[in-house]
Amino acid sequence: MFKTARKILKINTKYMKIKFTDLYKLILNKKQIISKLNYLIKNSNFIGGNEVKSFEKNFSRYAGAKYCISVGNGTDALEIAIKSLNLKKGSEIIIPTNTWISTAEAVVNNGLKLVFCDINLKDYSLCLNDLKKKLTSKTKAIIAVHLYGNPTNIPQIKKIIKKKNIKLIEDCAQAHGSKINKKHVGTFGDIGTFSFFPGKNLGAFGDGGAIITNSKKISEYCFRDRNHGALKKYDHHFSGRNSRLDSIQAAVLNIKLKNYNNVVKKRNYLAKIYFQNLKEIKEIDLFKLEKKNKSVFHQFVIKTNKRNELKKYLSKHKIETMIHYPYMLNELKCFPNSKIINARNLGDKILSLPISEEHTKIEIDYISKIIKQFFKI
């Protein structure tokens, strides 16, 4: 029987092509979604309404927060979250340099000073020593990013800023469902922000985002800001923006949320296979996940000095990979340059391997086999 299984594996992988992500295959419950969309179209229910309210209630319950404010996208979620803190002009906000540009844009677009912090090479989260060095009397907030779906070192960050009157925002764009000591990320700080971009673990059919908080004051501000500064029509308290999650995206997310725990389980299952298969390759560094932390593995990232050669070799074998991210934010022309050592080291060596609920054990084993083949293991 074992020989037969091996023979089948050989036949299946000979012409195998593995995409990094196949968004169509990620859509489960297609019939249910189509039925719901037809209902919304028939009733011309496109903006706001029960579907959006239902999602806000469901997601706040899922994340363990009192309030959820849905918005148009993850970038708006960050911008509104920062704006809700009402920080004085000239205030500094510290962010890690190895993240998507939205984290930095949100600071700059609020007219505040951006300060980049280096990372540690163990789990790619904020370097606590560098964080301490970057703190000044003007530091008013820190944005901690749960990169790749892995919880960042929130408890240690909170210890450092305790009694300093520094606000903590959690960027959870890649970390829906990640936990620290069984508590959801996004609920440790003052505010948590999320993205529902289609490629996210919990993705919509277009753009979408959300803010969660346990503060009534912050939630009321965010509800107003997303809707031109008003909670009800024509009652504008300040100049806000138009950033509303539409009913179609809310409906899709409501359906997907019901099955989301299974998505997380599948990604953890595949990640475990990667860890087991690749742990003996000396030329590869695998990130370290603390036992108290639960990742949702939005990405599975490895580090190697032979990144470019390995990427090319995997491509030759029809295996798609990505780099998240090739450039650090402090290296971009649009932001002030500062010396960041560890992050630069990471940017030249990281490679994201395929991992999603669409992938199978056979595919992950095959990818691992080709990687071992490259390193002559």
CATH at 90? 3.40.640.10
d(CA 364, CA 266): 12
- Asked whether residue 130 falls in the same domain as residue 265, the answer is no
Give per-residue pLDDT as tens, 97-110.
Answer: 999 999 999 999 99
What is the widest separation between alpha-carbon atoms in the chain? Answer: 72
- Asked whether residue 43 falls in the same domain as residue 89, the answer is yes
- Asked whether residue 119 falls in the same domain as residue 238, the answer is yes
Give per-residue pLDDT as tens, 50-92.
Answer: 999 999 999 999 999 999 999 999 999 999 999 999 999 999 9
pLDDT score recorded for residue 3: 42
Residue 91 phi, psi (nearest 5): -65, 145
- Asked whether residue 368 falls in the same domain as residue 246, the answer is no
> Where is the domain boundary, 258, 282, 308?
258
Residue 110 and residue 82 in contact, taking contact as beta carbons nearer than 8 Å: yes
- Asked whether residue 114 falls in the same domain as residue 230, the answer is yes
Q: The CATH number of the domain where 298 resides is what?
A: 3.90.1150.10
pLDDT score recorded for residue 12: 58
- Asked whether residue 72 falls in the same domain as residue 182, the answer is yes
Kindly report the pTM of this predicted structure: 0.94
- Asked whether residue 87 falls in the same domain as residue 138, the answer is yes
Number of domains in the chain: 2
- Asked whether residue 151 falls in the same domain as residue 289, the answer is no
Low pLDDT (below 50) residues in the chain? 1-9, 11
User: Strands (DSSP E) along the chain, which ranges?
Assistant: 67-71, 92-96, 113-117, 139-145, 167-171, 179-180, 183-184, 191-195, 209-213, 285-286, 293-294, 300-303, 350-353
DSSP, residue by residue, 84-141? HT-PPTT-EEEEESSS-HHHHHHHHTTT-EEEEE-B-TTTSSB-HHHHHHH--TTEEE
Residue 151 and residue 185 in contact, taking contact as beta carbons nearer than 8 Å: yes
pLDDT score recorded for residue 45: 83
- Asked whether residue 227 falls in the same domain as residue 92, the answer is yes
Comparing CA positions, the residue from 109, 78, 16, 97 lying closest to residue 354 is 16
> Where is the domain boundary, 240, 258, 276?
258
Give per-residue pLDDT as tens, 292-340.
Answer: 999 999 999 999 999 999 999 999 999 999 999 999 999 999 997 778 8
Domain of 273, in residue numbers? 2-23+260-374
d(CA 342, CA 166): 25
- Asked whether residue 232 falls in the same domain as residue 286, the answer is no
Both tokens of residue 69? Answer: 């404010």
d(CA 64, CA 68): 10
- Asked whether residue 228 falls in the same domain as residue 274, the answer is no
> Where is the domain boundary, 238, 258, 278?
258
- Asked whether residue 173 falls in the same domain as residue 284, the answer is no
Residue 242 phi, psi (nearest 5): -105, 100
